[in-house]
Amino acid sequence: MYFLKLHKTERLGIISLVILIIILQFVYLNVDFSVNNSQDLNTKEVLAMQAEIDSLKQLKIANLKPKIYPFNPNFITDYKAYKLGVSVAEFDRLKAFRSKDKWINSPKQFQTVTGVSDSLYNALKVYFKFPDWVLKKQQQKAELKKRAPKSISITDLNTATAAELQQVNGIGEKLAQRIIKYRNKLGGFIREDQLYEVWYLDKDVANRVLAQFKLLSRPTIIKLNINNCDASELKKTPYFNWKLANAILEYRNMHAGIKKMEELKNIEGFPLDKYDRIILYLTLK
């Protein structure tokens, strides 16, 4: 055989090569050469390094963005508008507004005039800078608005309940019932100033009531003929008592009737301060 013809050294070399090939094949087939990289990647050191790299990337991106400094939107140029993201049409609307010698005095007015989107408006408004006098004027408006009296819903004084009346500062349960009792005695208020006649009702409190309650409805008054009535009928009329009723009848009999309402002022004991209210319940026929 050819193998036997080879020199001894050559035969040993071939045998060694065959054995080496067999060993390498055995190792290749039976040994796992894969590396568990996932475990290494999840180590704290790797994660910390990755976080630092990410932060450096974000910092680099932020530094690449143009910085925006506070500015007055009334004086931006077309280049400035372009850098801010304001479109040509939006900037033209701003120029047309300024050409009329009008001024942007608030961030919201800038959006109204230019028509920029809400996202761009929210991004830019924090950089707007207006003169001190504009800021003071805005503060004054806000203060006046804050001090302005709140709108009050008006309720009919002739239909108000005790609970509604008690919503007024200074009106308690007893005073509310007293107002309603006097209103019923009159048959309903026909003049707002009749509220001042309620016993123990302070004038300032009455004014607060009249600020919230108005005469939205008035009762129908059946006027009493003063020349054709007796004392009992007069007694039932608001503001009259027996003494005043009898005094009027006596005057009527002595003068063959009452010709003018003003004659009531001549009767002794007649309440002159209530004359304009009393005659609302009387008539002459």
Instruction: State whether the Cα torsion 5-6-8-11 is positive or negative.
Output: negative
pLDDT of the residue at 64: 46
pLDDT of the residue at 58: 62
Candidates 215, 230, 81; CA nearest to 158 is 215
Tens of each residue's pLDDT in the chain, 285 residues: 554 555 667 667 777 777 878 887 776 677 655 555 545 545 677 677 777 776 766 655 455 455 777 888 888 898 888 888 899 999 999 999 988 888 888 889 899 999 989 988 898 888 888 877 666 766 666 666 666 555 557 899 999 999 999 999 999 999 999 999 999 999 999 999 999 999 989 999 999 999 999 999 999 989 999 999 999 999 999 999 999 999 999 999 999 999 999 999 999 999 999 999 999 999 997
Domain residue spans of the chain:
73-147, 155-214, 224-283
Q: Please, what's the b/e burial string for 76-111 (b: 16 or more CB within 10 A of its CB; e: otherwise)?
A: beeeebeebebeeebbebbeebeeeeeebbebeebb
Alpha carbons 168 and 166: distance in angstroms, whole number: 5
SS3 262: helix
Task: Give CB contacts under 8 A, 24+ apart, made by 190-195.
Answer: 190/215, 190/218, 190/219, 190/221, 190/280, 191/215, 191/277, 191/280, 192/157, 194/277, 195/157
pLDDT of the residue at 169: 92
Q: What CATH fold (topology level) applies to the domain 224-283?
A: DNA polymerase; domain 1 (1.10.150)
